[in-house]
Amino acid sequence: MKNVKRYFVIGLFNLFFGFLLTSCNKADGYYGFQNQENLFPGNTIAYFESKPEVYDSLMHVLAFFPELKNQLSTDSLTVFAPTNASFRSAISNFNLIRKSQKKQPLYINDLNKLQLDTLLSKYIVKGVVTTESMLFVDGLFVNTLNYQQPMHAQRVKQEASGLVDGGLVTVYYSDTKGSNFTTYWTRSATQAVNIKTQNGVVHILANGHEFGFGEFLTRFNL
């Protein structure tokens, strides 16, 4: 009988200890889920070149603009980088419309380069803009490197089970369309932020973002 009680007490102790250990690990896991800053040992163009599975389309477009590509290798710039999926989405939806209009499909090589430059510039901002620069209540207004197009970046930190600073950092990057009214803005979320290169910083836009902030069709379907 004594042995039964002894094993029962040991069992309760092990159950309690296991619960305590699991709880601690869960908390550690949430803290570990913070979006840590990454460092890349090269310039911004080298970073894009190191990940062709993500940035082949962006590099293809940048090849049309050697001066801009050179700036991304040397100048202090911030890129809100569209992925291959963003370009695929824009081209696919664009050609579906053209097909319904009985027009031939167009691809990146066929596009008007002046219009393409205008759209590409929406993603490149002067200076190094990290999430720490976006801590204002209403976010941060920025102008693009070329054409001085007004854009907006806002940091949002998601909650993680009530833990302070335990959530994922997301940035909403918006094309303001020249308006102060947010209802007219086109917004995209990021999937990763604060990737620091030797000359700048990269924030990666979510794959669901369509390149051009809703202007792809109107600029190229002429």
| pLDDT digit string (tens) for the chain, length 222 residues | 544 444 444 444 444 434 433 333 333 322 223 344 589 999 999 999 999 999 999 999 999 999 999 999 999 999 999 999 999 999 999 999 999 999 999 999 999 999 999 999 999 999 999 999 998 888 999 999 999 999 999 999 765 544 444 458 899 999 999 999 999 999 999 999 999 999 999 999 999 999 999 999 999 997
Distance separating alpha carbons of residues 151 and 129, to the nearest angstrom:
12
Residue 20 and residue 47 share a domain: no
Residue 45 and residue 19 share a domain: no
Residue 109 and residue 47 share a domain: yes
Tell me what pLDDT residue 222 has.
79
Tell me what pLDDT residue 7 has.
44
Residue 28 and residue 42 share a domain: no
Distance separating alpha carbons of residues 163 and 33, to the nearest angstrom:
11
Number of H helices, E strands in the chain: 7, 8
Residue 128 vs residues 79, 131, 142, 200: alpha-carbon distances, Å: 9, 10, 11, 6
Give the range of the structural domain holding residue 173, as residue numbers without chain letter: 36-220
